[in-house]
Amino acid sequence: MSAFLLCFAAWSAIALGMDRHHREALGRESSARHLLRLRRAGWLLLLLSLWLAARPSHATPTSLGVTAWAIALSVAAVAVTAMVTWQPRRAPAFAGGALVAGLLAWALGW
């Protein structure tokens, strides 16, 4: 669950770091540098979520953790696409919420 939420936040950042989606979500243009930072943050968050998912626990060996992450990655990508297609203006809020929820979920072991 935490993998999905973190990936959702990450993909959202990447999406919002693109001209078209940024405009649809926030109603205004933004500087190229700002967009680049958003995208970078998104990629970093993806890497972080992978690292967190790959850490072996008593119930889940690394291989299963990474597999679950790869699956969550695609699910999150689909979810973000749905978000920016049909509810672009809510996208930033959902992204922020997912980030918090994701970190919380990981801390609680979900």
Partner 1 sequence: MSATPSPAAHRPASTQREGFRQAMSWLHTWAGLILGWLLFAIFLTGTLSFFRSEFNLWMRPEMHSLPSATETEGAAEPTAQAAQAARTAQTVQKSVDALVRRAPEVTQWILHLPDERDPAVNLLWRGTGNGRFETLRMHPQTGEPIEARQTMGGDFFYRFHFELRTAQKGRWAIQGRWVVGVATMLMFVALITGVITHRRIFKDFFTFRPNKGGQRAWMDAHNVTGVLVLPFYLMITFSGLMIFHTLYMPAGIATAYKTEKGVDANAYFADLQGEKAESRPRRGPGDPVEPLPAIALQPLIEAASTRWQGGRIGSLQARRDAKGRAVVEITRHDGDRLQYRPPRLLFDATTGQWLDQADATGPAARTYGVLYGLHLARFADAGMRWVLFGFGVLGSLMIATGMVLWSVKRSARSEAKAQAHAQTAASREIHAVPLAVAARAPFGERLVAAINIATLAGLPLACGVYIASNRLIPVGTAGRADVELAWFFGTWGLALLWALACALVREGRAGWSVPLGAAGLVWAALPGINALTTRTHLGVTLPAGEWTWAGMDLSFLATGLLLGWLSWRLRPGRMSRGKVAAHPGPHTASPAPRPAPPQAVAALPGTPGVSTSGA
**Residues engaged in binding partner 1 (CB under 8 A):** 11, 14-15, 18, 20-21, 61, 63-64, 67-68, 70-71, 73-75, 77-82, 84-86
Least distance to partner 1 from the beta carbon of 85, Å? 5
- Residue closer to partner 1 by CB (options 44, 70) is 70
Contact 103, 16 (CB under 8 A): no
Nearest residue (CB) to partner 1, 70 versus 93: 70
CB-based contact 68:3 (threshold 8 Å) = yes
Among residues 47 and 70, whose Cβ is nearest to partner 1? 70
23: amino acid identity, one letter? R
> Which CB, 61 or 96, lies closer to partner 1?
61
Name the residue among 82, 99, 107 with its Cα closest to residue 45: 99
Shortest separation between residue 25's beta carbon and partner 1, angstroms? 11
d(CA 51, CA 38): 20
| Shortest Cβ 27–partner 1 spacing (Å) | 18
Task: Quote the CA–CA distance of 57 and 34 in Å, as a whole number.
Answer: 37
